[in-house]
Structure 1
Amino acid sequence: MIKHTLLLAARRALSSPGLRFFSGGEIIGDVSEWAGSPHLTQQASLYVHWPYCLRRCSYCNFNKYIPRENNNSIMTDCLQRETETLLQLSQVSSITSIFFGGGTPSLAHPSTIAAILETVSRQVNLSDEAEVTLEVNPTPAGKSKLEDFCRAGVNRFSIGVQSLQDDDLKILGRDHSSHHALQTIEEAQRLCPGRVSVDVMFGRPKQNVKSWENELSELLRVCDDHVSLYQLTLERGTQLFKQVQQGEATVPAEDVTAEMYQSARRTLHQHGFLQYEVSNFARNNAVSHHNMSYWKGRQYIGVGPGAHGRFVLLGEGGVVREARTQTLEPDMWIREVRQWGHGTRRRIQLGHLELLEEVLVMGMRMIEGINHKHWELFVQLGLHEVFGKSTDVQELLQSGQLILMTEVWRCPGMDWVYWTAYCQLTGGNWKHKSSRGNKGTTELMDNTEDLHPTIRNLNRACNF
Structure 2
Amino acid sequence: MLLVRSQHYLCRFTKSMIHSRSITSSTLYVHWPYCRKRCTYCNFNKYISNSVDHDRMKTCLIKEASTLISQSRAQVITSVFFGGGTPSLAEPATFQSLIESVARDNVLSEDAEISMEVNPTAFQAHQLKDFKEAGINRVSIGVQTLKSNGLNILGRDHSVQESLNCLEAASTLFPRKVSLDLIFGWPGQTMDMWIEELKQILHVCDKHLSLYQLTVEKGTQLYSQVQSGKLQVADTGLSEDMYLHAVQFLEQNGFERYEISNFAKEGQYCQHNMSYWNGGEYIGVGPGAHGRFQPNGKYEREARIQTLSPEAWMKEVEIRGHGTRSIVPLSLHERLEELLVVGLRTKWGISHKAWSLLCPNQSLAALTQYTEFQQYFDSGLLEINSSGLRASNEGMNIIDTIIVDSTVPPQQWYCLQHCVHHSRQSLKLSWSAAVFQVDSVLPEPCHIKSVDDLAPQLTAWYDVCDWGP
With the shorter chain as reference, the TM-score category is: 0.7 to 0.9
CA contact 1:324–1:347 (8 Å) conserved in 2: yes
Tell me the amino acid that sits aligned with residue 339 of structure 2: V
Which residues of structure 2 form unaligned runs of 5+?
410-426, 440-449, 459-469
CA contact 1:375–1:381 (8 Å) conserved in 2: no
Q: Of the candidates 309, 317, 325, which is equivalent to residue 329 of structure 1?
A: 309
Cα separation, 1, equivalents of 2:143 and 2:115: 16
Shift of 1:429: 3.3
Aligned to 2:370: 390
Tell me the amino acid that sits aligned with residue 228 of structure 1: S
Aligned to 2:16: 33
CA contact 2:345–2:399 (8 Å) conserved in 1: no
Q: Against the structure 1 CA distance between its residues 151 and 389, is the aligned structure 2 distance closer, same or farther, given a 3 Å change threshold?
A: same
Shift of 1:233: 0.5
1:268 and 2:250 equivalent? Answer: yes
Q: Against the structure 1 CA distance between its residues 392 and 70, is the aligned structure 2 distance closer, same or farther, given a 3 Å change threshold?
A: closer
CA contact 1:19–1:31 (8 Å) conserved in 2: no
1:94-105, aligned counterparts within 5 Å?
94-105=76-87
CA contact 1:365–1:414 (8 Å) conserved in 2: no
State the secondary structure of the residue aligned to 1:84. Answer: helix
Aligned to 1:417: 398
Aligned to 2:71: 89
Cα separation, 1, equivalents of 2:320 and 2:15: 32
Normalised TM-score (structure 1): 0.85
Tell me the amino acid that sits aligned with residue 82 of structure 1: E
If asked which structure has higher relative contact order (CA below 8 Å, sep 6+), I would say 1
Tell me the amino acid that sits aligned with residue 248 of structure 1: K
1:144 and 2:126 equivalent? Answer: yes
Aligned to 1:279: 261
CA contact 1:372–1:382 (8 Å) conserved in 2: no
Q: Against the structure 1 CA distance between its residues 36 and 216, is the aligned structure 2 distance closer, same or farther, given a 3 Å change threshold?
A: farther
User: What do residues 52-84 of structure 1 show as CA deviations (whole Å, max 9, x unaligned)?
Assistant: 000000111100001251311111110000001
1:49-448, aligned counterparts within 5 Å?
49-316=31-298, 319-384=299-364, 386-387=366-367, 389-390=369-370, 392-412=372-392, 413-415=394-396, 417-420=398-401, 422-423=403-404, 428-430=428-430, 432=433, 448=454
Tell me the amino acid that sits aligned with residue 183 of structure 2: M
Measured on the aligned residues, the alpha-carbon RMSD in Å equals 2.6
Cα separation, 2, equivalents of 1:406 and 1:109: 48
Q: Against the structure 1 CA distance between its residues 390 and 16, is the aligned structure 2 distance closer, same or farther, given a 3 Å change threshold?
A: farther
State the secondary structure of the residue aligned to 1:55. Answer: coil
CA contact 2:15–2:300 (8 Å) conserved in 1: no
Shift of 1:252: 1.1
Q: Against the structure 1 CA distance between its residues 169 and 385, is the aligned structure 2 distance closer, same or farther, given a 3 Å change threshold?
A: closer
CA contact 2:292–2:301 (8 Å) conserved in 1: yes
CA contact 2:381–2:395 (8 Å) conserved in 1: no
State the secondary structure of the residue aligned to 1:400. Answer: coil
Shift of 1:377: 3.5
Tell me the amino acid that sits aligned with residue 299 of structure 1: E
Cα separation, 2, equivalents of 1:108 and 1:250: 35
Aligned to 2:422: none
Cα separation, 2, equivalents of 1:378 and 1:133: 30
Shift of 1:357: 0.7
CA contact 1:49–1:102 (8 Å) conserved in 2: yes
Which residues of structure 1 form unaligned runs of 5+?
1-8, 22-28, 438-444, 452-464
Tell me the amino acid that sits aligned with residue 429 of structure 1: L
Tell me the amino acid that sits aligned with residue 188 of structure 2: K
State the secondary structure of the residue aligned to 1:252. Answer: coil
Shift of 1:86: 0.4
Tell me the amino acid that sits aligned with residue 173 of structure 1: G
Shift of 1:126: 1.2
Cα separation, 1, equivalents of 2:168 and 2:109: 27
Cα separation, 1, equivalents of 2:13 and 2:282: 27
User: What do residues 329-385 of structure 1 show as CA deviations (whole Å, max 9, x unaligned)?
Assistant: 111001100111100011111111111111111101111111101223344344247
Identity fraction in percent:
43
Tell me the amino acid that sits aligned with residue 309 of structure 2: E
Cα separation, 1, equivalents of 2:63 and 2:201: 40
State the secondary structure of the residue aligned to 2:69. Answer: helix
CA contact 1:90–1:313 (8 Å) conserved in 2: yes
Cα separation, 2, equivalents of 1:344 and 1:150: 30
